[in-house]
Amino acid sequence: LELEQALATAIVREEFLLDYQPKYSAGSREVTGFEALVRWLRPGQGRVSPADFIPAAERTGQIVPLGAFVLRETARQLRAWQQAGLQPLPVAVNVSPLQFEDPTFADGLLALLQTHQVPPTLVEVEITETAAMTHMDRVLPQLARLRDAGVGVAFDDFGTGQSSLTLLRRLPITTLKLDRSMIDPLPESSAGAVVRAACVLANALGLAIVAEGVETADQAAEVERLGCTHLQGWLLSHPMAAADAERLLKPAA
């Protein structure tokens, strides 16, 4: 309850900021985009990890205003990078299924991007496979709406849920993110066969496929060999402050 009250105050005061973890293209290892990850700068306590407050925010519904802040901040940052004469890269934002409960979520996000003059193609929403599957009736039409407008749609923690292959073919998604639990045991293990199968599937459906949680050079080489199109993880880069992410951007042509 104490955490809940502190969170409520923190949301009003906007005591949060975003770090950005780069994503790299397989092979060339060039930065192709970022994932925004929220942090709470709690007065007197320093940085609180999202692992310590996202679950509480989900439980109480506070993830809805917090998630709205994350989207506003992402739009503001993308606009700022454009205005600084940089070529922004797409930013992926984690979206909770509770945010999709609001049937105007997709339209609200598109309006926000328009207000900030940010092209929808610079934003990707990440939703966990399990959340999308559990709340399909509410989530899918909104994903389709975002997709039609050019927003990227990623299935997060892919491989831990149970979406059928038939369904996957019909989903309005652009990217699969392979859960860290499948990358961890590489290169030794039969997990490689699963990763390869997922890559073949993604490729056949025209989807990008990101290996999450790449921590070693052997894992990076292995996921590239198995057919992942993108890599993310501590080997390549930890999440970083916006100012550091900015240094990875090229000047606009």
Residues that bind ligand G (CB under 6 A): 21, 37-38, 49-51, 54, 63, 67, 70, 94, 96, 156-157, 180, 212-215, 233-234, 239
Please report whether residue 21 would count as binding Na ion according to CB under 5 A: no
Distance CA 161, CA 136 (A): 13
Amino acid present at 166: T
Residue with tokens 């940085």: 47
The reply to whether omega before 239 is within 30° of 0 (cis) is no
| Site map (CB under 5 A) of Na ion, residues 123-142, x = contact | ---x----------------
Query: Residues 214, 233: contact at Cβ < 8 Å?
Result: yes
Binders of Na ion in range 25-54 (CB under 5 A) = none
Query: Residues 242, 20: contact at Cβ < 8 Å?
Result: yes
Distance CA 54, CA 99 (A): 13
The CB-of-239 to ligand G minimum distance in angstroms stands at 5
Q: Of Na ion, ligand G, none, which one does residue 82 interact with (CB within 5 to 8 Å by kind)?
A: none
Only one of the segments 55-63, 99-107, 156-164, 185-193 lies at the binding site for Na ion (rule: CB under 5 A); that segment is 156-164
Nearer to ligand G, 118 or 220 (CB): 220
The CB-of-22 to ligand G minimum distance in angstroms stands at 10
The secondary structure element, H or E, covering residue 42 is strand 31-42
CA torsion sign for 50, 41, 74, 37 is: negative
Please report whether residue 73 would count as binding Na ion according to CB under 5 A: no
Only one of the segments 76-84, 96-104, 118-126, 140-148 lies at the binding site for Na ion (rule: CB under 5 A); that segment is 118-126
Residue 151 CB neighbours (<10 A): 24
Nearer to Na ion, 179 or 222 (CB): 179
Please report whether residue 232 would count as binding Na ion according to CB under 5 A: no
Instruction: Find the binder of Na ion among 73, 156, 179, 222 (CB under 5 A).
Output: 156
Residue 20, judged by CB atoms within 10 A of its CB (0-12, 13-18, 19+), counts as: buried
Residue with tokens 């749609």: 153
Nearer to Na ion, 74 or 94 (CB): 94
Nearer to ligand G, 71 or 199 (CB): 71
Query: Residues 220, 242: contact at Cβ < 8 Å?
Result: no
DSSP string of 97-123, one letter each residue: HHHHHSTTHHHHHHHHHHHTT--GGGE
Nearer to Na ion, 105 or 158 (CB): 158
Number of residues that bind Na ion (CB under 5 A): 3
Q: Of ligand G, Na ion, none, which one does residue 88 interact with (CB within 5 to 8 Å by kind)?
A: none
The CB-of-64 to Na ion minimum distance in angstroms stands at 18
Nearer to Na ion, 96 or 142 (CB): 96
How long is the chain? 253
Interface residues with Na ion (CB under 5 A) are 94, 126, 156
